[in-house]
Amino acid sequence: MYIVSDSSSNLLSFEGVGYSTVPLKIISETKEYVDDVSLDVENMVNEMSQSKEKFGTSCPNAYEWLDAFEEKDDIFAITITSKLSGSYNAAETAANMLMEKEPEKKICVLDSFSTGPEMQLIIEKLKELKEKGLPFGEIKEKIKAYMQKTNLIFSLQSLANLAKNGRVSPAVAKIAGVLGIRLVGMASEGTLKPLHKCRGEKKTLETLKEVMMDMGYKGGKVRISHCLNLEAAQKLKDSILRVFPKTDIKINICTALCSFYAEKGGLLVGFET
């Protein structure tokens, strides 16, 4: 098995199975940040906050996906939601190009309808299924079933970059535009669904936990990605552990793509139900 994800997974390396990422990019007229291990994300966020330029993003094209598939077998490719990015379409195109050239290759492209930590859960599950020694077709079925039981919720202090790039409506972006107000929401049908307006961090973390419970969380795996907000991520982790002491919870940082859209302070929470 070989797994390729786009860099929106925030998982630029992963041990124990063949794995690589194809980067998305953050671009302005004069700058380009490539979402790979060589990038200093904190520096990017600070540079951008001081810049007057307009920044956008671009997803990998089909040739970049195809490069990642080259010489690999039993490939699973996983992308950010096709509702907000062209990454899935590009990966699909690449998969078709590959199969035309080498029809015996097995490849499966998965649209996460999500991003970040929910993609992480899916990647980790793929590795687990591989370790069970299951055949490709069965892994494909099982991972699709698993993806029905993974979720993503988030809290955002600013939705300015999402709005400027047409990924949420200006009306939704306005919710979090006020100082101290954060938007708690969930990924639903591949897009952002606003749920609650929260004032202050304490209330926000409580709300995130409540939303998890409402969605049917019962102690499954949790993955938290944060944009320059380790402290809040740690507090959320601790508060979940108080209810479910044995839960497997891991924290990592948002790399470039998720940092750009989640913005400073943003939290993304992927969890199993």
Summarize as ranges the residues that interact with ligand X90 (CB under 6 A).
Answer: 24, 57-59, 80-81, 84-87, 114-115, 152, 154, 167, 187, 190-192, 258, 261-262, 268
DSSP string, 237-261: HHHHHHHSTT--EEEEE--HHHHHH
Quote the CA–CA distance of 67 and 207 in Å, as a whole number: 42
228 is written with which tokens?
């320059």
Residue among 139 and 257 whose Cβ is closer to ligand X90:
257
Residue among 129 and 192 whose Cβ is closer to ligand X90:
192
Residue among 53 and 141 whose Cβ is closer to ligand X90:
53
- Specify whether the CB–CB gap between 25 and 33 falls below 8 A: yes
Residue among 1 and 94 whose Cβ is closer to ligand X90:
94
- The least distance separating ligand X90 from the CB of residue 137, rounded to whole angstroms, comes to 28
- The least distance separating ligand X90 from the CB of residue 135, rounded to whole angstroms, comes to 31
Quote the CA–CA distance of 41 and 47 in Å, as a whole number: 10
Which residue minimizes CB distance to ligand X90?
A: 85
- The least distance separating ligand X90 from the CB of residue 105, rounded to whole angstroms, comes to 26
- The least distance separating ligand X90 from the CB of residue 183, rounded to whole angstroms, comes to 9
Q: Which helix (H) or strand (E) holds 214?
A: helix 201-214
* Phi (first) and psi of residue 124, to 5 degrees: -65, -40
- Specify whether the CB–CB gap between 187 and 214 falls below 8 A: no
Quote the CA–CA distance of 89 and 202 in Å, as a whole number: 39
Q: Which residues pair with 18 in a beta bridge?
A: 2
Residue among 114 and 129 whose Cβ is closer to ligand X90:
114
- The least distance separating ligand X90 from the CB of residue 186, rounded to whole angstroms, comes to 8
- The least distance separating ligand X90 from the CB of residue 213, rounded to whole angstroms, comes to 20
Residue among 1 and 7 whose Cβ is closer to ligand X90:
7
Quote the CA–CA distance of 29 and 193 in Å, as a whole number: 31
